Amino acid sequence: MRKKITVAICGFGNRGAEAYGSYQMLHPDEMEIVAVADPRPARRALAVKEYGVPEDRCFTSGEAMLAQEKLADVMFITTQDSDHIRFAIPALEKGYHLLLEKPISPSLDECVALREKAHETGRIVVVCHVLRYTQFYQKLKELLVCGAIGKLESVVATENVAYWHFAHSYVRGNWRRADESSPVILAKSCHDMDILRYLVGKPCLRVSSFGDLDWFRAINAPLGSAARCLDCQVKADCPYDAEKIYLTNPASGYFGGHRQWPLTVLTNDVTEEGIRKALQVGPYGRCVYRCDNDVADHQTVNLEFEGGVTAVFNLSAFTEGCYRTIRLMGSLGELEGNLDEQKVTLRPFGGPEKVFTLDPVEGEYAGHGGGDARMMEQLCLLISEGGRDALTSIDVSVESHLMAMAAEESRLHGGKPIDLAEFGKARK
């Protein structure tokens, strides 16, 4: 029986608690949370009540937790994007291994500094690029490696964010402003940059990108609308109405049977009364046309990889569902798949089509196509057995951040092609 790992969590929000911390609930023999840091009393109380963390190990800040002697084997850093490095580097120096929420940092300098500190200290840093751990993308990689479609020539990938998800996270929520978090291509789609790099298996050389913030602006506010949805007299025809999204939408609302994300971001009191109160006073009850958001609501990235492989990635807020699709085109066939459907189709040229139906991903750990759970499983195994090679180590993850940052640079300059080698040098 392998050793159970101990965990300290810096930032006990949705990702820190529900996405990663709750692995303890399902596998108490593999992982134990022994300390938590969060400035919100309600989140610290949750750690005590639901996760069994001792009260004297619940700290009001990451700094306070890091001022103690080393408390655990690994620290999860799941704070806001711009706060990652100021906790990550001291944690490595203290002797912790790290599980680090993506993006590593909005600054390439900080990404590189963390990579160097990980090498210097000899500690493991696992970045939460959870898509690499899914059966779906691993099946695609397996088929590419075995030559099922010959030489890979081009890729088309789409991230359908879903209108309600985009409104929640990137208009009303924590990732609405690039200066407070990251541009959306980094905050949301460094996942996709990483998975393209993983599947192609070669470095990206150049990118160009187009996109803008078009719809979620004051000029598009309906005549007679109000600053807050609960006060609005013309919300009947507005799909972005907060009451619809958080109370009645089958995909995200309380009356759709949900009791987890996105509702737990609004309030710890996930009842109709608690949600309504949050919409009355909190940021998630604001009109989407009257927020202070500035990140793009649609963006396309063109990528050229070593060896001549090209790719097109498209992100859009304007979809009904929240899912990813991909098509990989090779010299001898093509692969097509939908992450949400857990299905991969192989079409060899001149041969019969073959469909790979993967294991269904259900329950609380269905997030990201099962990638959250599979990453946590591999993290526990890696730390307990003293391994070194993580599928999403700091070394492999920095490259996707460079790709995303270069794409944003291109977007801000009218789609100007960006050479990644030169861009990386200029940013250091």
Same domain membership, residue 222 and residue 154: no
The per-residue pLDDT string of the chain (428 residues; one tens digit each, 9 = 90 and over) reads: 678 999 999 999 888 888 899 999 989 999 999 999 999 999 999 999 999 999 999 999 999 999 999 999 999 999 988 999 999 999 999 999 999 999 999 999 999 999 999 999 999 999 999 999 999 999 999 999 999 999 999 999 999 999 999 999 999 999 999 999 999 999 999 999 999 999 999 999 999 999 999 999 999 999 999 999 999 999 999 999 999 999 999 999 999 888 889 999 999 899 999 999 999 999 999 999 999 999 999 999 999 999 999 999 999 999 999 999 999 999 999 999 999 999 999 999 999 999 999 877 665 445 677 888 899 999 999 999 887 789 999 999 999 999 999 999 999 999 999 999 999 887 65
Residue 272 lies in a domain: yes
Do 364 and 302 share a domain, yes or no? yes
Note whether 202 and 339 are same-domain residues: yes
- Cα 271 to chain centroid, rounded: 26
Give the CA distances from residue 98 to residues 82, 105, 227, 316, 341, in Å, rounded to whole numbers and listed in that order: 16, 14, 41, 32, 32
Identify each DSSP E strand in 161-234 by its residue range: 204-212
Q: Domain end: 129, 157, 176, which one? A: 129
CA atoms within 13 A on the CB side of 185: 29
The residue written with tokens 């998630």 in the block is: 284
Q: Which two tokens stand for residue 143?
A: 């088929």
Tell me which amino acid residue 148 is. Answer: A
Compute the distance between CA of residue 75 and CA of residue 126 in angstroms, rounded to an integer. Answer: 10
Q: How many domains does the chain have?
A: 3
* Same domain assignment for residues 135 and 120: no
Regarding pTM above 0.85, the answer is yes
How far apart (Å, rounded) are the C-alpha atoms in residues 384 and 378?
A: 10
Same domain, yes or no, for 72 and 189?
Answer: no
Residue 224 lies in a domain: yes
Tell me which residue range forms the domain holding 237.
218-285
3 state DSSP class of 423: helix
Whether 384 is in a domain gets the answer no
